[in-house]
């Protein structure tokens, strides 16, 4: 897996840091996959990066155009049901930080070409 290239700031990053319980791996995996597929169809979704370590700690960062896109995503019924199940069964603990990205950069430089409004030839 490669890092998602940066977008043109400003945009919103939702940083979800979580610790899994040992319960219901199959149910968790199915729901996590379904939520990714659903998020990708939401207006204002830009992308995400997600990693889980061997010790059960996970970080998922999703990128969104603006606060309205996040509010709409929070209101989706299937997403609300998944969050409730997560709180009951799948997560021992989690912290969410909602943050406005002010600058972003990448290596190799080619990734920077995805920043809208910048022409690599002129950089």
Determine contact, residues 102/11, Cβ cutoff 8 Å: no
Q: Which of residues 57-86 bind a second copy (CB under 8 A)?
A: 57-59, 61, 63
Neighbours of 12 (CB within 10 A): 19
Binding mask 100-119 for a second copy (x = CB under 8 A): xxxxxxxxx--x--------
Question: Which among 68, 16, 15 is positioned nearest to 43, based on CA atoms?
Answer: 68
Least spacing, CB of residue 7 vs a second copy, in Å: 9
Alpha-carbon dihedral angle through residues 6, 19, 42, 76, given to the nearest 10 degrees: -160
Q: How many residues bind a second copy (CB under 8 A)?
A: 43
Q: Which residues bind a second copy (CB under 8 A)?
A: 1-6, 13, 15, 17-19, 49, 51-59, 61, 63, 87, 91-108, 111
């Amino acid at each position: 897996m490669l890092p998602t290239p940066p977008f043109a700031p400003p945009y919103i990053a939702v940083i979800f840091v979580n610790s899994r319980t040992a319960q219901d791996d199959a149910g968790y995996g199915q729901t996590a996959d379904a939520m990714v597929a659903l998020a990708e169809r939401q207006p204002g979704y830009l992308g995400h990066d997600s990693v889980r370590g061997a010790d059960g700690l996970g970080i998922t960062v999703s990128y969104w155009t603006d606060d309205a896109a996040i509010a709409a995503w929070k209101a989706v019924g299937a997403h609300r049901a998944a969050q409730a199940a997560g709180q009951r069964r799948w997560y021992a603990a989690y912290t969410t930080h909602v943050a406005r990205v002010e600058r972003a950069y990448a290596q190799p430089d080619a990734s920077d070409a995805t920043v809208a409004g910048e022409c690599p030839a002129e950089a």
